[in-house]
Amino acid sequence: MTQTTFAQALNRALRDELTADEDVLVFGEDVGQLGGVFRITDGLTRDFGEDRCFDTPLAEAGIAGFAVGLALQGFRPVIEMQFDAFAYPAFEQIASHIAKYRNRTRGKVNLPIVIRIPYGGGIGGVEHHCDSSEGYYAHTPGLQVVTPATPGDAYSMLREAIRNPDPVVFMEPKALYWSKEDLDLPVEREPFGQAAVRREGSDVTLVTYGPQVATALKAAEVAAAEEDWDVEVVDLRTIVPFDDETVAASVRKTGRAVVLSEAQGFAGVAGEVAARISERCFHSLAAPVLRVSGLDIPYPPPMLEHSYLPGVDRILDTIARLQWDDEPDTHHLPASDREQVSA
């Protein structure tokens, strides 16, 4: 196996799809000769030509609108919004046209467009460069919203997104671009709509996605070493479609849940996840579902981002609030699972 970074996995996925399908086009601001701000498209123009991977003007609405026209002509556009908040001028095209085209044509016309959005903080950036904007897209019917947390998932999920017949908002955690995994590419991981249990546990479930998966795993190790809490970590992988089955099975087993999100907490994805858990697992819960999120403020300057981002200490403090003197209700579980929870 070869150590592969998250960024290299994305680049390889684009290469493999450009090779496999001549209708795939990659374009956006600086993605051509420069290879993108984060070098995700490095070498693609050189190897596939300026007709397949090319630069656009600094006009995000134009990029998205151009993608709509190309998709209507049979192409599979993969567009890059250079930074999370740079995509906001394109939101009208995304919400009013890309998301609605299939419904507007009664299922007769689909738009196979991938919108790649580097998002989240942890890189010492400033506002407009570190937003967690997944909530806007998740709230828009007609869009699939996915966010890998490992290099293997980055490769597999980007290829699945490009082959998808409908629009996919592909959220790339910037802080993970340099993370590594031993991989033999190509790899194929779980399909969209299937979450992954990254760490087995029996006391509490941490439900999260994207950049917070690594933080959740660190918190789980500290919790085991210092507090003797056995923490399960569920990586959603795809926000839309949402894997209720895996999340509910985990929470029914542990009886406690904390939802982690780097985005602001108010009216965000974490709130939706907490509501779904409460609706489906109410009789299994030993404590209310809690959230750890970014603060309800614009993204702060670099010197303060450590206070804004959910970290291990905030996660452990939240787990400590989960009414540990109570026992989870396990009477609905099969006997074998009940014994496992009680062990």
Domain ranges of the chain: 2-183, 196-321
Predicted confidence at residue 141, as pLDDT, reads 97
In whole angstroms, what separates CA 262 from the centre of its chain? 11
Predicted confidence at residue 341, as pLDDT, reads 64
On the question of a cis peptide bond just before residue 165, with omega within 30 degrees of 0, the verdict is: no
Rounded CA-CA distance 256/287 in Å is 6
The string of pLDDT tens digits covering residues 23-41 is 999 999 999 999 999 999 9
Split at pLDDT 50, 70, 90, the class of 126 is confident
Token pair recorded at residue 257: 């849940």
Domain 196-321 in the same topology as domain 2-183:
yes
Least confident of 9-23, 68-82, 310-324, 327-341: 327-341
pLDDT mean over 172-177 = 97
The pLDDT > 70 percentage for the chain reads 96
Predicted confidence at residue 337, as pLDDT, reads 72
Could you give the residue numbers annotated as active site?
Answer: 129
CATH class belonging to 2-183: alpha beta
Residue 321 pLDDT > 70: yes
The pLDDT > 90 percentage for the chain reads 92
The string of pLDDT tens digits covering residues 149-174 is 999 999 999 999 999 999 999 999 99
The string of pLDDT tens digits covering residues 228-244 is 999 999 999 999 999 99
Please tell me the total number of residues recorded for the chain in this structure: 343
Pick 196-321's CATH classification: 3.90.1150.10, 2.70.170.10, 3.40.50.920, 3.30.70.370. 3.40.50.920
pLDDT mean over 47-60 = 97
The string of pLDDT tens digits covering residues 178-221 is 999 999 999 999 999 999 999 999 999 999 999 999 999 999 99
What is the DSSP secondary-structure string of 301-314?
Answer: PGGGHHHHS--HHH
Predicted confidence at residue 116, as pLDDT, reads 98
The string of pLDDT tens digits covering residues 261-308 is 999 999 999 999 999 999 999 999 999 999 999 999 999 999 999 999
Look over the chain and give the mean of its residue pLDDT values, rounded to a whole number: 95
| H or E element at residue 146 | strand 144-146
Rounded CA-CA distance 108/102 in Å is 7
Residue 93 pLDDT > 60: yes
Over its C-alpha atoms, the chain yields an Rg (Å, rounded) of: 20
pLDDT mean over 15-30 = 98
3-state secondary structure of 168: strand
Cα–Cα–Cα angle for 273, 321, 263, nearest 5°? 35
